[in-house]
Structure 1
């Protein structure tokens, strides 16, 4: 059973949005305060793609295959996770938090986990694989408290 320490940070992310919250109280009754909100403009892939996928000759006469097209939307989400990890490293290096809980969609949680520097990873006291970016701060408090207690 882990409790959310005083001054611990909670990062809530989904690949396009991130909330950085700080616990102003204790683990019994967390009171999270938004200290930073990041959001990127990431249109659907269809809106970012310029052309049809390229094609190549496939060995036989008249045979052609399409190349896989780049999914710009997913690429931007991965880049967002990498940028978030870099920002967390800067803040950890500056001593701005001693404990961290990461709440993110499963895919983004994996991307973040891979991108985190050891200095940040050592401060992670909990991971919650849920998408909570569209929840109220009060709902996030309740969910984080319940998940860490369970």
Structure 2
């Protein structure tokens, strides 16, 4: 289990590919008191609702009746990845204006990977802990309890 020291005034990002919570610790590391600073959400319907085309087929360059199927575009995942980049950009802007010194990132593994790729050096240097969990649907007091278990 990863140890988290959630210092006073640390920023806690809790997100997935569709919702982002920016929480500030107004308590201390022993008794966190997370306060919502900002919430970002995007409407991201399932891929089947975003695209209507059937996957294409491709001939491998030789005249033949054998064609290979091309995998369907996962519009839902593309939107999640784009949202992760937007969040990373927001965190960069906040870091650039000295909006936080310590950042705890809580996200499911796929989103966490996209965020790591998108984080600017100024953001990465401020990350003090990462938790690979999906907590966006939890109330703030439950997020506090879960993060306190890592202290």
Structure-1-length-normalised TM-score: 0.94
Which secondary structure state, in structure 2, belongs to the residue aligned with residue 46 of structure 1?
A: helix
| Cα deviation digits, residues 20-47 of structure 1 (max 9, x gap) | 0000111111000000000000000000
| 2:129 aligned partner | 126
Q: Find the aligned partners of 1:43 and 1:118 in 2 and give their Cα distance.
A: 32
1:72-93 deviation per Cα after TM superposition (whole angstroms, max 9, x unaligned): 0000111111110000000000
**Residue equivalent to 2:147:** 144
Question: SS where residue 102 of structure 1 aligns?
Answer: strand
Q: Match of 2:87?
A: 84
Please give the per-residue CA displacement for 1:111-139, whole angstroms capped at 9, x wherever unaligned: 10111011011111100000000011001
Given the alignment of the two structures, is residue 54 of structure 1 paired with residue 56 of structure 2, yes or no? yes
Maintained 8 Å contact 2:14/2:106? yes
1:112 aligns with 2:115: yes
CA RMSD of aligned residues (A): 1.2
Say which of 2, 9, 34 aligns to 2:11. 9
Once the two structures are superposed, residues 53-106 of structure 1 have per-residue CA deviations (whole angstroms, 9 ceiling, x without a partner) of: 112234363212221221100001111111100000000000111100000001
d(CA) in 2 for partners of 1:87 and 1:49?
28
Figure out how many residues of one structure are paired with residues of the other and give that number: 148
SS in 1 for 2:101: coil
Counterpart among 26, 29, 37 of residue 27 in structure 1: 29
Please report the TM-score for the alignment, with normalisation by the length of structure 2: 0.93
Q: Which runs of 5+ in 1 are unaligned?
A: none
Moved more, 67-76 or 52-61: 52-61
